[in-house]
Amino acid sequence: MLLVPFHSMEEEMAYEDLRSFLDALGSDLLRVNQALDPKFEMAALLREVQSGGQAVLFETVTGCPGARVVGNILSSRRALALALGTAPEDLAQTYRRNKARSLPAVLLGGAAPAQEVIHRGPEDLLSILPILTHHDRDVAPYITCGLVLAKDPETGRRAMGIHRVMCPRGKRLGILLGGPPFTRLHGAAEAQGRPLEIAVALGVDPATLLASVVKIGPLGPDKFDIAGALRGLPLELVRARSVDLEVPARAEIIIEGHVLPGVREPEGPFGENTGCYFTNSSPVVEVTAVTHRRDFIYPGLCPWTVEVDHLLSLAAGTELLGQLQAQTYGVLDLEMIAGTCAFSAVISVRGCRPTEVRRVILLALALDRRLKSVTVVDEDVDIRSPREVAWALATRCQPDRDTVVLRGVEGYVIDPSTLGGDTGSKIGFDATRGPGAAFDKVTVPAAARAKARAVVAELEVRKRAGSL
Ligand SMILES: Cc1cc2nc3c(=O)[nH]c(=O)nc-3n(C[C@H](O)[C@H](O)[C@H](O)COP(=O)(O)O)c2cc1C
């Protein structure tokens, strides 16, 4: 069902759940009727079509009668824009405007779609859910699109983030908790010798998915409230059945469980968003209940794909751009470089002196824990064109003069180049132009360009008419 939100006079559509968003995708949803196996085959197809911009709904799942699987739901800027009810060119602006409003989550009593079917203390998750196995060397099926939820028992403050969950046969799962707030919550629980209660929400509306990976820091708002603000409709919650948590009432599936204190077991290898396999010694979850819709749709998210790029570019990139613009003059735009797991970004500036560029670099590298390399360019460089950015680096940057290197800073756990340590380094490149005409980009007279375009257009028309 599509809902027009009550709080706004704008023509904005809000999706209350995953399936209403899938309905809205229209021809941007590719339906696959042929039965495919969750082991390798679905991930292979999602990867194959990732650049086409279509979401994929697998209507028949080998070994899991009645279940459906969806993937690539945010694999185009068009889909992201649809998710936020805006146009692709207005994405960043809409994200910021929506996020600033307040639409707190509401707790429902009674029945919730996410709890139509309840399995208490299930013995084996894989006999209930079609969890995908993605890559040759993955040790087991992995949940890749699960919103992990927990609460600080002292303050009541909630935590939410996407965390990979390893699902071998049985009811013990491995979970990668790579940083705060989850590492802190789990550490505090362990210090008292108690388990940490968690829930994993699977199959939520796209704005809630985005909200789950927004970087908020220790004082930021509740991510459930960000979800409501982004989608223009308060998130509806319901009490979980076996843990003391509130979970999205309209999710497709909820897994409830305890992260055990003092237990670490081998987890991985698993092909990460870096495009490399990562193995860890990780906490273990014991599942206490699984609830789901009667006709649930399981969400797949293929690591290291265009969909991950889009998630990170909006939730991490737009967020960082806003922070930089609040602190410095002259920052125009920011792009997370596709395929880098948001380790690399390009920033464009206008009228910044070299010392100001340096400040932008230092701020960006410090504000985003994951960001490892940043390149700052002028506004005459298209930051979404790898060729233009490489050109600016090649012609406007002298490494000994224009590079900032930070050593001994926090490394990102899944980055293989840290060689398994938790310390890394970061680099910033000032690829802005110097003074004088030597830095001018070549241009072609406007009249000649216009004529060239007219000739090309004419050739196109003749080609289409078959006369060429
Ligand atoms: C696709 C995807 C997968 C992620 N997987 C993990 C993970 O397995 N472990 C982890 O600690 N963080 C993971 N993250 C990052 C967390 O979700 C993170 O909490 C989130 O990006 C918000 O940042 P914060 O840690 O600053 O709150 C992942 C992020 C994305 C977008």
Q: Show the 3-state SS of 168-180.
A: CCCCEEEECCCCC
Distance between CA atoms of 282 and 177, rounded to whole angstroms?
A: 7
H or E element, residue 458:
helix 446-465
Q: How confident is the model at residue 217 (pLDDT cuts 50, 70, 90)?
A: confident
For residue 289, what are the CA distances in angstroms to 120, 172, 258, 293, 306? 4, 12, 10, 14, 33
Q: How confident is the model at residue 449 (pLDDT cuts 50, 70, 90)?
A: very high
- Residues with beta carbon inside 6 Å of ligand 1? 161-164, 176-179, 213, 215-216, 273, 301, 308, 311-312
For residue 345, the cross-strand partners are: 336, 374
Q: Which amino acid, 6?
A: F
Complete edge-to-edge strand list for the sheet that includes strand 236-239: 106-107, 236-239, 246-248
Nearest Cα neighbor of 33 from 70, 59, 63, 61 is 59
Distance between CA atoms of 166 and 177, rounded to whole angstroms?
A: 12
φ, ψ dihedrals at 233, nearest 5°: -160, 125
Q: With beta carbons less than 8 A apart as the criterion, state whether 216 and 222 touch.
A: no
pTM: 0.94
3-state secondary structure of 98: helix
| pLDDT tens-digit map of 396-443 | 999 999 999 999 999 999 999 999 888 999 999 999 999 999 999 999
- Dig out the tokens for 251 from the structure: 């999710």
3-state secondary structure of 51: helix
Nearest Cα neighbor of 157 from 246, 237, 248, 289 is 246
3-state secondary structure of 408: strand
Ligand 1 centroid vs 160 CA: distance in angstroms?
9
| pLDDT tens-digit map of 224-274 | 999 999 999 999 999 999 999 999 999 999 999 999 999 999 999 999 999
Distance between CA atoms of 69 and 60, rounded to whole angstroms?
A: 8
> Look-up: residue for tokens 């196996």?
37
| pLDDT tens-digit map of 279-300 | 999 999 999 999 999 999 999 9
Ligand 1 centroid vs 227 CA: distance in angstroms?
16
Average pLDDT, the chain: 95
- Count CB-CB contacts under 10 A for residue 119: 18
H or E element, residue 343:
none
Beta pairing class for 172-175 and 146-151: unpaired
Residue located nearest, by CA, to atom 3 of ligand 1? 162
Q: How confident is the model at residue 468 (pLDDT cuts 50, 70, 90)?
A: low
CATH for 307-439 is 3.40.1670.10
Q: What is the mean pLDDT of residues 38-67?
A: 97
Distance between CA atoms of 304 and 311, rounded to whole angstroms?
A: 11
| Entry field: residues in the chain | 468
DSSP 8-class letter at 70? E
Q: Give the ligand 1 atom nearest the CA of 162.
A: 17
φ, ψ dihedrals at 281, nearest 5°: -105, 110
From 144, 162, 311, 313, mutation site for ligand 1 pocket: most ligand atoms within 8 A of C-beta: 162
- Dig out the tokens for 411 from the structure: 């490394």
Q: How confident is the model at residue 277 (pLDDT cuts 50, 70, 90)?
A: very high
Q: Give the ligand 1 atom nearest the CA of 145.
A: 1
- Count CB-CB contacts under 10 A for residue 421: 9
What would the DSSP string read from start to end of 185-239?
HHHHHHHTT-PEEEEEEES--HHHHHHHT----TTSPPHHHHHHHHHTSPPEEEE
From 176, 182, 213, mutation site for ligand 1 pocket: most ligand atoms within 8 A of C-beta: 213
Distance between CA atoms of 315 and 310, rounded to whole angstroms?
A: 8
Distance between CA atoms of 95 and 102, rounded to whole angstroms?
A: 13
Q: Estimate to the nearest angstrom the gap between the alpha carbon of 36 and the chain centroid.
A: 25
Buried b (16+ CB within 10 A) or exposed e, 72-92: bbbbbbebbbbbbbbeeeebb
Peptide bond into 88 cis (omega under 30): no
Ligand 1 centroid vs 214 CA: distance in angstroms?
9
Peptide bond into 269 cis (omega under 30): yes
| pLDDT tens-digit map of 158-194 | 999 999 999 999 989 999 999 999 999 999 999 999 9
Domain chopping of the chain, boundaries? 307-439
Q: How confident is the model at residue 102 (pLDDT cuts 50, 70, 90)?
A: confident
pLDDT of residue 264: 98
From 142, 163, 183, mutation site for ligand 1 pocket: most ligand atoms within 8 A of C-beta: 163
Give me the sign of the Cα torsion angle 54, 60, 66, 67.
negative
